[in-house]
């Protein structure tokens, strides 16, 4: 096992950037100038540009006790790409800025960048710039994602209309439950370091929190099926929060059916173990990075053919409010109980 530790200070800021990006490959024909100058140059060939930014902070968004650096690099990229896909756009480029504390070695950052490049390769995205700085507050990661879309074909949160169907990809709540498992094992380890974590049977849930995947496949399928969602958002802060964002932006209400919310079998089992409702995990958990979108009723037959999409409710008049219809038949006001960055 190689235990070499190269101090970042031995390379300096520019030497570090050059070292970490020396094998950076470009995938996009539109990348005219990449890393290494004052700014990058890209040509979108007449398509419209979509831009999003996310900040990930150690101790707030991730815990390095159980987050491998390669996974973190991958996740830092894909959570930003998810925002681009949520506009029905195609991601093409990212920039990456890091604040690094002195506990990190060059080798640790190489591991982080392995994950970054793995995500760039998988989703055909170019890393075209960024910045590094020392940090006294742990590891700080800022990613800006850039995408492209045919003129005026992007989808926003504000287009949902009364009677539209509410759809979601994949399953929900698994990432939150994966996080609960990791936090439990961390507590056990801190109390008794001799006890090894036991997560072998929970690969799905752990994978959902440590290595999420943006739903590029859903966007591609919608385009091929000639379905244009009327509104769309990615599920990063919990289903209830995201659906309320759509309702607020579109000036509408909704009915959401608890029994229709898709939950993985592994998530149901662990929710029972933790004595939490599986639907509550889906509604409030966050970090699933699935796509929540609305479609016209006439698209129901097409959507129903895709096993990766669930129809979970419909849009109502604003005056009716946003409501959850429980499995027991009770109607509750839908509340925003998801992740809040400032709570």
**How many other β-carbons are positioned within 10 Å of the β-carbon of residue 153?**
13
d(CA 253, CA 251): 7
User: What CATH number was assigned to the domain covering residues 8-149?
Assistant: 3.30.1330.10
Cα 200 to chain centroid distance, Å, stands at 24
Q: What is the per-residue pLDDT for 37? A: 53
List Cβ neighbours of 242 (8 Å cut-off, separation of 6 or more): 233, 234, 235, 236, 292, 338
Token pair for residue 328? 């027991």
List Cβ neighbours of 330 (8 Å cut-off, separation of 6 or more): none
Map tokens 């029905």 to a residue: 88
- Name the residue ranges covered by the structural domains of the chain: 8-149, 165-333
Map tokens 């995201």 to a residue: 242
**Counting Cβ atoms within 10 Å, is residue 112 exposed (0-12), middle (13-18) or buried (19+)?**
buried
d(CA 296, CA 302): 11
DSSP 260: G
DSSP 122: H
Token pair for residue 116? 């970054």
Cα 201 to chain centroid distance, Å, stands at 24
Instruction: pLDDT tens for the chain, 343 residues: list them.
Output: 556 787 767 776 566 667 666 666 777 777 676 655 555 566 777 888 889 989 999 999 999 999 999 999 999 999 999 999 999 999 999 999 999 988 888 899 999 999 999 999 999 999 988 888 889 879 999 999 999 989 889 999 999 999 999 999 999 999 999 999 999 989 988 888 777 767 768 999 999 999 999 999 999 999 999 999 999 999 999 999 999 999 999 999 999 999 999 999 999 999 999 999 999 999 999 899 999 999 999 999 999 999 999 999 999 999 999 999 999 889 999 988 655 544 4
Strand-pairing partners, residue 280, are none
User: CATH number of 165-333: 3.90.650.10, 3.40.50.720, 3.30.450.20, 3.20.20.70?
Assistant: 3.90.650.10
Q: Which residues of 262-300 are buried (b: 16+ CB within 10 A; e: fewer)?
A: bbbebbbebbeeeebbbbbbbbbbbbbbbbbbbbeeebe
Token pair for residue 226? 């000639």
Q: What is the per-residue pLDDT for 278? A: 94
Token pair for residue 233? 């958002």
In the chain, DSSP assigns E strands to: 31-33, 41-42, 48-57, 90-100, 126-134, 140-149, 165-169, 231-235, 253-257, 290-295, 309-316, 322-325, 331-333
């Amino acid at each position: 096992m190689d235990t070499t530790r190269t101090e970042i200070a031995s390379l300096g800021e520019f030497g570090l950037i050059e070292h970490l990006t020396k094998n950076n490959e470009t995938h996009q024909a539109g990348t005219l100038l990449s890393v290494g100058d004052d700014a990058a140059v890209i040509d979108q060939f007449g398509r419209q540009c979509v831009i999003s930014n996310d900040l990930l902070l150690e101790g707030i968004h991730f815990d390095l006790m159980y987050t491998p650096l390669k996974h973190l690099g991958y996740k830092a990229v894909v959570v930003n790409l998810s925002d681009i896909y949520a506009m029905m756009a195609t991601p093409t480029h990212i920039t990456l800025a890091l604040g690094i504390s002195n506990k990190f070695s060059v080798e640790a950052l190489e591991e982080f960048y392995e994950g970054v490049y793995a995500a760039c390769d998988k989703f055909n995205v170019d890393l075209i710039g960024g910045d590094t700085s020392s940090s006294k507050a742990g590891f700080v990661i800022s990613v800006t994602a850039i995408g492209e879309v045919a003129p005026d074909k992007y989808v926003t949160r504000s287009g949902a209309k009364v009677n539209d169907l509410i759809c979601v990809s994949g399953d929900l709540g698994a990432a939150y439950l994966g996080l609960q498992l990791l936090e439990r094992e961390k507590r056990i380890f801190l109390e008794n370091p001799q006890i090894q974590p036991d997560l072998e049977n929970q690969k799905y849930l752990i994978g959902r929190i440590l290595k999420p995947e943006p739903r590029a496949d859903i966007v591609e399928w919608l385009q091929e099926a000639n379905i244009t969602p009327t509104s769309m958002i990615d599920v990063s802060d919990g289903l209830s929060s995201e659906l309320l964002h759509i309702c607020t932006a579109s000036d509408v209400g909704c009915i959401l059916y608890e029994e229709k919310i898709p939950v993985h079998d592994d998530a149901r089992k662990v929710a029972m173990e933790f004595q939490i409702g599986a639907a509550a995990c889906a509604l409030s958990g966050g970090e699933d990075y699935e796509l929540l979108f609305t479609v016209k009723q006439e698209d129901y037959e097409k959507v129903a053919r895709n096993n990766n999409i669930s129809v979970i409710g419909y849009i109502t008049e604003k005056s009716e409010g946003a409501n959850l219809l429980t499995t027991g038949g009770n109607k509750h006001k839908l509340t925003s109980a998801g992740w809040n960055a400032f709570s």
